[in-house]
Chains A and B, each alone.
Chain A
Amino acid sequence: MNDQACEKSVNRRWQLSLSTMLLLVTLFAVGAGFVKARHDRNELQRLLATLRPMTRELSVDNPTQIAVVRRVPTLSNELIFDAYIPKPLVPTQVHRLCLVLEEIVDSGPFDVLFPQPTGSFDLQPGIHSIELRSTEADKNDVNSEHRFVVLVDGETVIKAKRPAVWQASNGWTSYGTISQSQAFDAKEAVQLLRRRNNEPNKNFSLSAPAKKPTNGVLLWIDSGD
């Protein structure tokens, strides 16, 4: 009798009612579905993170900030940015597009990093395309010139030219590029391009000398503060 009771109690431990089974199966299905959905979402976000740098679209998440991205170039020397300029913080604030071709450094205090511009153009609030077109001087013609044209929304706004000797040797060193849409404080100076002309160094190769101003191209958006 005792054995029977014991056997019964052992069997009862593994018995589940139909409703409990249904509940457990439902919970498992919900849990598995949740894990799958999270996995799919992560995969999709990973895929989007791969796709976005290929399209380089301007993203304006905060309309009080400057947003900039360099477009995917279709030519090696093509340099076009899409930029969002916010409304001024104070009525006197003007965002200016600035170009400098001399005295360009790689580091230093703000007024050395961003000197008085060679040319500038006031940018109105809104989305603009900003393009720099540059043509190198003919190496075989000492009288030829380097030419620079800055266009905003397809219109020429800054023009500059320099004699062939402005760039003594081939090549330059570029510093950073905004290859994904980036937001900046509306008071910040936003560097679009810092390119310093190379010079022969003691290793008989070409590089832009550190801590020494050089000719080159510096294009930035000044906050006007």
Chain B
Amino acid sequence: MAVLKLEQQRLEQLVGQLKIDNPDKMQLKMVQRPSRDHIVWRIYLPGNQNWRLAENSVGGSSGWSSLGKSRATEGLLRFRIDRDDGKSKIHLIRNNVSSTTSLQPELADFLEAHWDELDVKIAGVDAQITESVNAIIPLIEIRLPAALKSLADKELSNLGLQTSATIFQVILGSEKAFEDREKLEQAKQNGGSP
């Protein structure tokens, strides 16, 4: 038993701790940040749901990948921006599922140059997050602060950014939560109630 506990402590030093207080809710915590744009969360997803991991960047790419699982799963989710050969790519990796998206060169340069001045919010940094399966969790969200608006107008003129606009985000939620949100947005666009 003592050997098993030591092994648990050793492994948790590598991948962090996550307490599954309620197995019917999403639970996550950031456990590693090897660099400012390389972040690892430990995530628990309840069963009987299909899950989506979506990313949106202003004026450019958006997409989602399915983490479709019918049983509860626990694992690591990695977000990383990699710059290689003058191109910037976003890597999202969870267990054996991964996706890569290219960032617009102007946006990539802007993020690289002004990362520390941008309004960057990362989920689960200070404490574990517990959310209902009906919620959509922004894992990382980068917004444009007012102080950078004029600079962004100059460097990202083609994107027409507004102050506080979300420049980039990665969001996680159940397929149903995404569908509900899409219906709501559709209804808003049509000027009616959902």
CA A72 – CA B74 in complex, angstroms? 15
B91 within 8 A of A: yes
B185 within 8 A of A: no
A10 within 8 A of B: no
Once the chains bind, are B1 and A44 in contact (CB under 8 Å)?
yes
What does DSSP make chain A's interface, helix, strand, loop or mixed? helix
B177 within 8 A of A: no
A77's nearest neighbour on chain B, judged by CB, is: B100
- A177 partner, pick from B5, B96, B100, beta carbons under 8 A: B96
Q: Interface extent on A, as a size class? A: 20 to 34
Once the chains bind, are B1 and A41 in contact (CB under 8 Å)?
yes
B112 within 8 A of A: no
Which residues of chain A come closer than 8 Å to B8, judged between CB atoms? 44, 47-48, 51
Chain-B contact segment, one of A16-24, A52-60, A158-166, A210-218: A52-60
Instruction: Given A75-B82, A76-B91, verify A44-B5 contact (CB < 8 Å).
Output: yes
Once the chains bind, are B75 and A53 in contact (CB under 8 Å)?
yes
A91 within 8 A of B: no
Once the chains bind, are A54 and B93 in contact (CB under 8 Å)?
no
Near B by CB (< 8 A), chain A positions 4-55 give 37, 40-41, 44-45, 47-48, 50-55
- A75 partner, pick from B5, B14, B76, B91, beta carbons under 8 A: B91
A65 within 8 A of B: no
A140 within 8 A of B: no
B108 within 8 A of A: no
Once the chains bind, are A179 and B96 in contact (CB under 8 Å)?
yes
CA A222 – CA B88 in complex, angstroms? 37
CA A40 – CA B7 in complex, angstroms? 14
Once the chains bind, are A54 and B76 in contact (CB under 8 Å)?
yes
B157 within 8 A of A: no
Which residues of chain A come closer than 8 Å to B4, judged between CB atoms? 41, 44-45, 48
Which residues of chain A come closer than 8 Å to B14, judged between CB atoms? 54-55
A73 within 8 A of B: yes
Given contacts A48-B8, A54-B76, A55-B14, 8 further A-B contacts (CB under 8 A): A50-B74, A54-B11, A54-B14, A74-B38, A74-B78, A74-B80, A75-B80, A177-B96
A-B complex: 6 closest residue pairs judged by Cβ atoms: A76-B98, A51-B11, A76-B100, A54-B15, A76-B91, A44-B4
- Provide a sorted-by-A list of 6 A–B residue pairs whose CB atoms are within 8 angstroms: A41-B1, A50-B74, A51-B8, A72-B76, A75-B93, A179-B96
